[in-house]
């Protein structure tokens, strides 16, 4: 019996080591979502990777523990025996467990706070001139997003276009109900709330075409409130595009409300 037991323990412990290591190696090398199109999506990916690499061995350990107790450590029923052992608790094991889980939790919280502080989504005061972030306003309404570029006369665009080399400062607001601006590849998610300016900072890294969708239930066509044509382009392409748009939009610019971080929606937006 002890021999078989030891073998089983070795098998379980060995499988745990192998599976945990294999999983973590895989997690470490796999391209996890949301990717690295921007600085924040990169750090989110990294964080999700670290959390997954912690969660996987813990998950396996608990499962191994369950298998161990249920299968290996099972006491075979024998006639006439008293029912089972009378273990009622072990304060040392309990204290260790609570201390260990508290440590993990504290560590996670501190780690998360540091990550949060590093790529803070709250825009800092404008830095020196060349680094001034490009302000892009995201205006949500049922059921589409409009983008406004205040540094180019406040023209509006139906698709998001941003340059790759500059810090971007999104200012998200809404004209009717609560929406949420989700730029998945950029790792940006910000609720669009009427008469509220929700600002998010980020630095695009990879040129490409991406998807933007609404992630807060906003009524009938919530599911269709998405756009597959959001672009991160090179700086020169962006300047060309922006100047072109500004000229095209010039005739209608004067009919748009003056640029502001929030707009007061017409009362009619709420029906009833």
Tell me the closest approach of the beta carbon of residue 1 to another protein, in angstroms: 13
- Give the number of residues in contact with another protein, rule: CB under 8 A: 93
DSSP letter string over 218-252? -STTGGG-EEEEEEEE-HHHHHHHHHHHHHHHHHH
Strand, helix or coil for residue 166: coil
73 binds another protein (CB under 8 A): yes
Rounded distance between C-alpha atoms, residue 269 and residue 272, angstroms: 9
Cβ atoms 166, 184 nearer than 8 A: no
Residue corresponding to tokens 């269709």? 224
Query: Of 251 and 268, which has the nearer Cβ to another protein?
Result: 268
Q: With binding defined as CB under 8 A, does residue 224 bind another protein?
A: yes
Asked if 22 touches another protein (CB under 8 A), the answer is no
Interface pick for another protein out of 1, 70, 125, 128 (rule CB under 8 A)? 70
Identify residues 40-59 at the interface with another protein (CB under 8 A).
40-41, 43-45, 47-48, 51-52, 55, 58-59
Q: If you compute the radius of gyration of the chain from its CA atoms, what whole number of angstroms results?
A: 27
CA 130 to mean position of chain CA atoms: 29
Identify the residue whose tokens are 């706070």: 113
Query: At closest approach, how far in Å is the CB of 144 from another protein?
Result: 14
% helix, strand, coil for the chain, step of 5: 45, 20, 30
Alpha helices in the chain (DSSP H): 2-29, 39-67, 91-118, 235-253
Interface with another protein (CB under 8 A), residue from 31, 83, 92, 129: 83
| Nearest approach, Cβ of residue 195 and another protein (Å) | 3
Site for another protein in 150-209 (CB under 8 A): 172, 176-178, 180, 182, 184, 187-191, 193-198
- Residues numbered 252 to 271 that lie near another protein (CB under 8 A) are 264-267, 269-271
Give the chain's length. Answer: 272
Q: Is 93 in the site for another protein (CB under 8 A)?
A: yes
Cβ–Cβ < 8 Å for 174, 266: no
Angle 203-205-207 from CA coordinates, rounded to 5°: 125
- Which residue, 97 or 236, has its beta carbon nearer to another protein? 97
- To another protein, the closest distance from the beta carbon of 130 in angstroms equals 27
Which residue of 8, 12, 32, 205 would you call a contact of another protein, by CB under 8 A? 32
Measured CA to CA, the distance from residue 241 to residue 233 in angstroms comes to 10
31 versus 251: smaller Cβ distance to another protein: 31
Binding status of residue 124 toward another protein by CB under 8 A: no
127 touches another protein (CB under 8 A): no
């Amino acid at each position: 019996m002890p021999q078989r037991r030891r073998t089983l323990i070795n098998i379980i412990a060995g499988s745990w080591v192998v599976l945990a290591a294999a999983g973590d190696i895989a997690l470490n090398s796999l391209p996890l979502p949301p990717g690295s199109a921007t600085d924040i999506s990169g750090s989110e990916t990294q964080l999700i990777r670290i959390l997954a690499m912690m969660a996987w061995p813990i998950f396996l350990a608990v499962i191994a523990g369950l298998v161990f107790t249920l299968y290996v450590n099972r006491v075979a029923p024998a006639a006439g025996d008293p029912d089972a052992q009378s273990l009622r608790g072990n304060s040392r094991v309990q204290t260790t467990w609570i201390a260990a889980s508290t440590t993990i939790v504290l560590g996670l919280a501190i780690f998360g706070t540091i990550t949060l502080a590093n790529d803070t989504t709250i825009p800092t005061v404008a830095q020196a001139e060349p680094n001034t972030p490009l302000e892009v306003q995201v205006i949500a309404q049922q059921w589409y997003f409009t983008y406004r570029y205040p540094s180019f006369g406040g023209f509006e665009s139906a698709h998001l276009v941003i340059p790759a080399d500059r810090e971007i400062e999104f200012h998200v607001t809404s004209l009717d109900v609560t929406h949420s601006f989700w730029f998945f590849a950029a790792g940006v998610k910000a609720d669009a709330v009427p008469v509220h300016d929700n600002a998010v900072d980020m630095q695009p890294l990879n040129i490409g075409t991406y998807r933007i969708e609404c992630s807060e239930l906003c009524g009938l066509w919530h599911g269709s409130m998405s756009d597959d044509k959001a672009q991160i382009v090179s700086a020169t392409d962006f300047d060309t595009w922006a100047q072109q748009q500004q000229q095209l939009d010039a005739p209608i610019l004067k009919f748009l409300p003056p640029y502001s971080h929030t707009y007061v929606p017409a009362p009619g937006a709420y029906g009833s």
